[in-house]
Amino acid sequence: MTRPGAIPPVLRAALDWPSGRCYRHCDRPVRPRRFANALPGTWTVRACPSGVVSVTSYAEWTARNPTADVRRYLARGTVPPRLVRAWDLRLATRRGPELGRAAERFLARARPRRGVRVVYWRVYPFRARDGSERRLFVCFRTRHAGPVFFAADPAKGPAVCPRCGPRPRPRRRAA
């Protein structure tokens, strides 16, 4: 038995789209990566091999608006949480014709009163107060319960996750 709001496999496959490239950063392929969570739907993060996030999406088969739950979940996994802003979250309802023939046939048989609700989170590059460019990165290391999102300057070398990166060493006291 599936949880209410869970995405059936045929609809999950229909929500996958060609990945494309990481434009304006590295021009390498963007890969989708799914991750588990406590919510009933499906999370997908599209990021380049360096960890720069193109878009994060959450899909749920429901009539309700899952945006508030998505925002709370993202804020728990984002350093600092203020990176998750309401205007960066977009809600879309996907129905049969735009999901492809297989999904359209599935939905015709199921006759749902709801569509697939997808919340997209996209943080565009921005300038920090010091003038450096910041992009959204993701860390998928197993030390975390879920992905960790953070902003970093890609020009300063590999981005370091604030939760699992190197910790500052304590200073020794002079004797």
Q: Rounded distance, CA 56 to CA 42, Å?
A: 11
Q: What is the DSSP string of 105-125?
A: HHHHHH--SS-EEEEEE----
pLDDT means per 10 residues, the chain with 175 residues, are: 70 78 76 85 88 89 90 91 92 84 84 82 84 86 82 83 68 56
pLDDT the model gives residue 126: 82
Per DSSP, the three-state class of 128 is: coil
Per DSSP, the three-state class of 80 is: coil
Per DSSP, the three-state class of 65 is: coil
What sign for the dihedral angle of Cα 32, 22, 53, 162? positive
Q: Rounded distance, CA 71 to CA 76, Å?
A: 9
Helix, strand, coil % over all residues of the chain, rounded to 5: 25, 30, 50
Contact status, residue 81 vs residue 71, Cβ threshold 8 Å? no
Q: Rounded distance, CA 96 to CA 26, Å?
A: 35
CA atoms within 13 A on the CB side of 145: 7
pLDDT the model gives residue 1: 36
pLDDT the model gives residue 167: 57
pLDDT the model gives residue 68: 94
Q: Rounded distance, CA 89 to CA 84, Å?
A: 8
Tokens, residue 14? 């229909």
pLDDT the model gives residue 166: 65
Task: Note the pTM of the prediction, 2 decimals.
Answer: 0.83
Rounded to 10 degrees, the C-alpha dihedral 132/138/139/140 comes to -170
